[in-house]
Amino acid sequence: MKILFISDTHRRHNQLELEAADLIVHAGDFCSYGNEAEVQDFLEWYAALDYPHKILIGGNHDRFLEESPAAFRQMLPDSITYLENSGIELGGLYFWGSPITPWFMDWAFNRERGSEIRAYWEQIPAHTDVLITHGPPYGILDKTIMQMHAGCKDLLDIVQEKVQPKLHVFGHIHEAYGQKQIGDTHYINASNSQLGPFTRKKGVLIDL
């Protein structure tokens, strides 16, 4: 299965140059301010893409998804699979997605580090093949421009000790874009945005 990963498009989805794949996955932050109009614009664009399957999770900028969940689900086209601490099997692979990130400036889906956020990560099934979280695990493609690790230690623990997925895909920390193999897990920070110009117009294509 060819999977195309994108993330952190922040309203600039129309600038993307996307390759063909069996499945496209957006790892959150398709909005900037997170209002209903931004969400509607993105959903119309995403639904119209010519991919057999489309998976979407939210991010900390996608406020409308957390503040008005019922209204968002009414807007959601049938062609898009939205994962919020939930999973789906496609093509013999099990995908699990979560928008949760450690608390920072009271954005959407923020949770306190420690027991509060760990409770979400403990929901991830051990048989997950592709884990999609908006934020990174601690110490893996999570370094900010200030050279600080912004990832979640509890997520790292669950991923490496319990789940060990084939792929763990995220975004959130734009400047930490890249890929890294650790053990049996391939980690991908798929952020399309940078701190400056929007120059990462292609997604990350993986044949799994």
Q: What is the pLDDT of residue 198?
A: 67
Q: What is the pLDDT of residues 59-106, one digit of tens each?
A: 999 999 999 999 999 999 999 999 999 999 999 999 999 999 999 888
Q: Residue 106: what pLDDT?
A: 86
pLDDT in tens, 2-32: 999 999 999 999 999 999 999 999 999 999 9
Q: What's the pLDDT tens digit per position in 103-115?
A: 988 899 999 999 9
Q: What residue ranges do the domains of the chain occupy? A: 2-207
pTM for this prediction:
0.97
Stretch 184-190: mean pLDDT: 98
CATH number for the 2-207 domain, one of 3.30.9.10, 3.90.640.10, 3.10.180.10, 3.60.21.10? 3.60.21.10
Contact, 161 vs 152, CB < 8 A?
A: no
Report the first-to-last Cα separation within the chain, whole angstroms. 5
**In the structure, what pLDDT confidence band is assigned to residue 197 with cuts at 50, 70 and 90?**
low
Computed over every residue of the chain, the mean pLDDT equals: 96
Task: Answer whether residue 42 shows pLDDT above 70.
Answer: yes
